[in-house]
């Protein structure tokens, strides 16, 4: 922590002391309503777009909404879970623990014994299901949905006095509530009329919290983007307060700065966490599209960087829309909709694709993210075709027959760990790769599963052993300093790339094991022979002494894996098959859903883990060694 950050943290404490002393005054802040005749027209445009959403998509939203209407919730590991009536907004329904109602600055939300698993409480309090109610209300004309929005808003306000309890702890959570309310207001027909009058104080308090306590210095990652998107959107929707102009300018300035600071020129988010990249793309789109709608256009460089971000997602997705789960993810969505991840990715990447065509787009996600505008309306840049090299981000795509029936894709991770100085959301996954064949995932990154509920599982999913790479002496490549901190980080880089029409080769290396008593440098070469759909992996370990080597291959949970000969395995995923053969010096072992040692797991949704096959090949070396693994489509 540098001197500027120390000063800033001390200032935060001062702000809390001042705020605690003036809670009542801030709670009574008055606003001045202005007439703005453009909003009913914008709301009508949105309604027109919503009317074009397919019957299937509507059905899904309405049925999800009907369960919420009964106070049955589905998120993380909770499935159709009864919340009771009234909903307890301070309860973590997964552990049944209730957070204290005291000044939020005094609550340590990371301690499970105090609050339960805070991610569960916060997720519920994002109130994103209110958007489902608004959509169902708009499509069915059933007034019950609108009544429920109002009832829950009142209940939420009554249970959450300003700055009291866990729901006032995180400015990001406050920002997402603001985005939710703005969406509801626009679907309802403008700014919500009487609904806004009831919510005006709490809307002010949310913005006040963000403006005072937004993420700074080492914490300025995706949280800051979310906070500024929420502040911008709320100050555009409800510009009725003394500070509104200031807040809007601050938020817009930060968003424009952060898209450059947190995203590489090639479109890769510096957190090196695919899911968070998807999340911040949505946040950047919401803010930029709203600016465009109201005549406050964001600069061209903002849209150019956003286009590159979408292009990266599109380039690392297979023909089915699956993409590698590199780094942390918490299943967060800027607008929550009942979709699978591939559907969500295809809809997002479709925004830049449809931008260029005359497609009459009425997919729900883009309609909501663009506030009823169509992709052609917004100033995205024309995306180039799917790319292979992301030199700034450190990813390289080796691909044969892209988009075709027998597409084979390996995404090679030669990226840095995460966004310095904390690298909070990075995983120790240097030189790992993701492999898809024929639109089916074979070798995956197993995901994240948890932040707070178990230190053991947290360190497994972010550790080197949960990635398709080499672990040495049982150590992670980088040294953890806490659940959102890596103290010492491997320096990983792409060394060279070569290719012809039939063949492509990429070489990467990292120095994470230089710290061992006998230092080791790991260099990995991936070669894809396009005609035979064969991937050859050559691992070179340079060292002088003796080491334990483990080579990991994590299969998708839909793969069946069996050993066919010593060192030879076959994996079947639906109707696609691959073989994998490891060097004869290795002793291979298959795991599935094993707890001691933890091995053979995947987590697609935060809070849920499922058994899957993991192949671990172990060997001992003495001095430098080279191993070859061959993977072929069958």
Q: Check residue 464 and report its DSSP letter.
A: G
- Closest approach, Cβ 464 to Zn ion, in A, equals 10
Backbone region of residue 401 per phi and psi (left: phi > 0; alpha: psi in -120 to 50; beta: other values): left
Nearest-angstrom CA–CA distance, 511 and 527: 21
Task: Give the interface segment with Zn ion, choosing from 56-64, 107-115, 424-432, 625-633 (CB under 5 A).
Answer: 424-432
Q: Check residue 466 and report its DSSP letter.
A: G
Task: Give the interface segment with Zn ion, choosing from 32-40, 226-234, 279-287, 421-429 (CB under 5 A).
Answer: 421-429
Q: Among 191, 254, 292, 427, which residue interacts with Zn ion (rule: CB under 5 A)?
A: 427
Using Cβ positions, the residue closest to Zn ion within the complex turns out to be: 427
Binding of residue 609 to Zn ion (CB under 5 A): no
- Closest approach, Cβ 327 to Zn ion, in A, equals 6
Cis, bond preceding 335 (omega within 30 deg of 0): no
Half-sphere exposure of 328 (CA within 13 A, CB side): 22
**Closer by beta carbon to Zn ion, 267 or else 463:** 463
Which pair of structure tokens corresponds to residue 8? Answer: 């800033």
**Closer by beta carbon to Zn ion, 329 or else 372:** 329
Residues in the chain: 634
Binding of residue 272 to Zn ion (CB under 5 A): no
**Closer by beta carbon to Zn ion, 454 or else 563:** 454
Q: How far apart are the two ends of the chain, measured CA to CA in Å?
A: 52
- Closest approach, Cβ 466 to Zn ion, in A, equals 6
Q: Check residue 267 and report its DSSP letter.
A: S
Q: Check residue 521 and report its DSSP letter.
A: E
Task: Give the interface segment with Zn ion, choosing from 393-401, 441-449, 579-587, 618-626 (CB under 5 A).
Answer: 441-449
Residues facing residue 92 across a β-bridge: 97
Which pair of structure tokens corresponds to residue 379? Answer: 């100033």
Q: Contacts with Zn ion: how many residues (CB under 5 A)? A: 2
Task: Give the interface segment with Zn ion, choosing from 46-54, 171-179, 437-445, 585-593 (CB under 5 A).
Answer: 437-445
Binding of residue 275 to Zn ion (CB under 5 A): no
Which pair of structure tokens corresponds to residue 242? Answer: 């003394």
Nearest-angstrom CA–CA distance, 612 and 559: 8
- Closest approach, Cβ 376 to Zn ion, in A, equals 36
**Closer by beta carbon to Zn ion, 361 or else 416:** 416
Binding of residue 425 to Zn ion (CB under 5 A): no
Cis, bond preceding 421 (omega within 30 deg of 0): yes
Q: Which residues contact 128 (CB under 8 A, 6 or more apart)?
A: 176, 180, 333, 335, 336
Q: Which residues contact 329 (CB under 8 A, 6 or more apart)?
A: 273, 274, 275, 276, 447, 448, 606
Angle subtended at Cα 255 by Cα 254 and Cα 257, rounded to the nearest 5 degrees? 65
Binding of residue 305 to Zn ion (CB under 5 A): no
Binding of residue 554 to Zn ion (CB under 5 A): no
- Closest approach, Cβ 614 to Zn ion, in A, equals 13
Place of tokens 């310095």: 420
- Closest approach, Cβ 448 to Zn ion, in A, equals 7
**Closer by beta carbon to Zn ion, 552 or else 627:** 552
Task: Give the interface segment with Zn ion, choosing from 382-390, 412-420, 442-450, 552-560 (CB under 5 A).
Answer: 442-450
**Closer by beta carbon to Zn ion, 383 or else 426:** 426
- Closest approach, Cβ 447 to Zn ion, in A, equals 7
- Closest approach, Cβ 483 to Zn ion, in A, equals 14
**Closer by beta carbon to Zn ion, 311 or else 445:** 445
| Largest Cα span, the chain | 77
x-or-dash string of contact with Zn ion, 444-473, rule CB under 5 A: -x----------------------------
Do 61 and 132 form a contact (C-beta atoms < 8 A)?
A: yes
- Summarize as ranges the residues that interact with Zn ion (CB under 5 A): 427, 445
């Amino acid at each position: 922590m540098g001197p500027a950050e120390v000063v800033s943290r001390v200032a935060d404490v001062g702000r809390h002391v001042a705020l605690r002393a003036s809670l009542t005054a801030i709670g009574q802040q008055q606003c001045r309503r202005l007439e703005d005749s453009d909003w009913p027209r914008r709301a009508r445009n949105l309604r027109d777009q919503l009317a074009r959403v397919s019957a299937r998509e509507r059905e899904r939203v309405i049925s999800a909404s009907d369960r919420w209407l009964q106070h049955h919730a589905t998120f993380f590991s909770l499935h159709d879970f009864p919340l009771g009536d009234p909903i307890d907004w301070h309860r973590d329904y997964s552990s049944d623990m209730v957070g204290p109602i005291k000044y939020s600055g005094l609550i340590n939300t990371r301690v499970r014994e105090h609050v339960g698993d805070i991610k569960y409480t916060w997720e519920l309090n994002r109130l994103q299901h209110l958007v489902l109610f608004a959509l169902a209300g708009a499509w069915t004309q059933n007034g019950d949905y609108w009544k429920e929005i109002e009832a829950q808003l009142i209940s939420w306000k009554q249970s959450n006095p300003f700055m009291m309890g866990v729901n006032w702890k995180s400015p990001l959570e406050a920002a997402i509530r603001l985005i939710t309310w703005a969406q509801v207001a626009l679907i309802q027909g403008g700014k919500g009329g009487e609904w806004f009058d009831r919510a005006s104080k709490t809307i002010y308090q949310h913005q006040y919290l963000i403006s005072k306590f937004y993420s700074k210095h080492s914490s300025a990652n995706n949280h800051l983007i979310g906070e500024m998107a929420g502040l911008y959107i709320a100050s555009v929707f409800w510009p009725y307060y003394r500070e509104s102009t200031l807040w809007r300018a601050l938020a817009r300035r930060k968003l424009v700065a952060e898209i450059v600071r947190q995203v590489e020129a090639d479109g890769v988010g510096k957190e090196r966490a695919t899911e968070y990249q998807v999340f911040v793309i949505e946040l950047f789109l919401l803010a930029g599209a709203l600016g465009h709608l109201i005549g406050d256009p964001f600069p061209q460089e903002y849209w150019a960087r956003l286009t590159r971000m979408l292009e990266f997602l599109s380039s690392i997705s297979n023909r089915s829309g699956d993409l590698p789960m590199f780094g942390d993810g918490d299943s967060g969505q800027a607008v929550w909709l009942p979709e699978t991840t591939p559907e969500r990715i295809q809809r997002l990447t479709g925004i830049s694709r449809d931008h260029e065509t005359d497609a009459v787009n009425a997919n729900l996600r883009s309609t909501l993210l663009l506030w009823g505008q169509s992709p052609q309306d917004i100033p995205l840049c024309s995306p180039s075709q799917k790319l292979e090299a992301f030199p700034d981000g450190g990813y390289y795509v080796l691909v044969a027959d892209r988009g075709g029936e027998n597409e084979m894709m390996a995404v090679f991770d030669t990226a840095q760990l995460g966004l310095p100085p904390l690298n909070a959301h990075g995983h120790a996954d240097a030189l790992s790769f993701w492999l898809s064949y024929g639109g089916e995932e074979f070798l995956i990154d197993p995901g994240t599963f948890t932040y707070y509920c178990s230190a053991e599982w947290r360190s497994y999913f972010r550790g080197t052993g949960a990635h398709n790479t080499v672990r040495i002496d049982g150590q992670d490549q980088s040294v953890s300093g806490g659940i959102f901190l890596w103290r010492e980080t491997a320096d990983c880089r792409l060394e060279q790339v070569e290719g012809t029409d039939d063949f492509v080769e990429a070489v990467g290396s990292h120095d994470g094991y230089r710290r061992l008593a006998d230092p080791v440098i790991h260099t990995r070469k991936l070669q894809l022979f396009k005609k035979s759909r064969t991937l050859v992996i050559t691992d070179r370990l340079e060292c002088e002494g003796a080491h334990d080597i483990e080579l990991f291959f994590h299969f998708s949970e839909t793969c069946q894996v069996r050993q066919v000969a010593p060192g030879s395995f076959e994996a079947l995923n639906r109707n696609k098959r691959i073989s994998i053969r490891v060097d004869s010096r290795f002793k291979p072992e298959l795991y599935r859903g094993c707890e001691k040692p933890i091995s053979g797991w995947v987590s697609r949704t935060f809070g849920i883990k499922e058994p899957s096959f993991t192949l671990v090949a172990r060997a001992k070396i003495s001095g430098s060694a080279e191993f070859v693994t061959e993977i072929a489509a069958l």
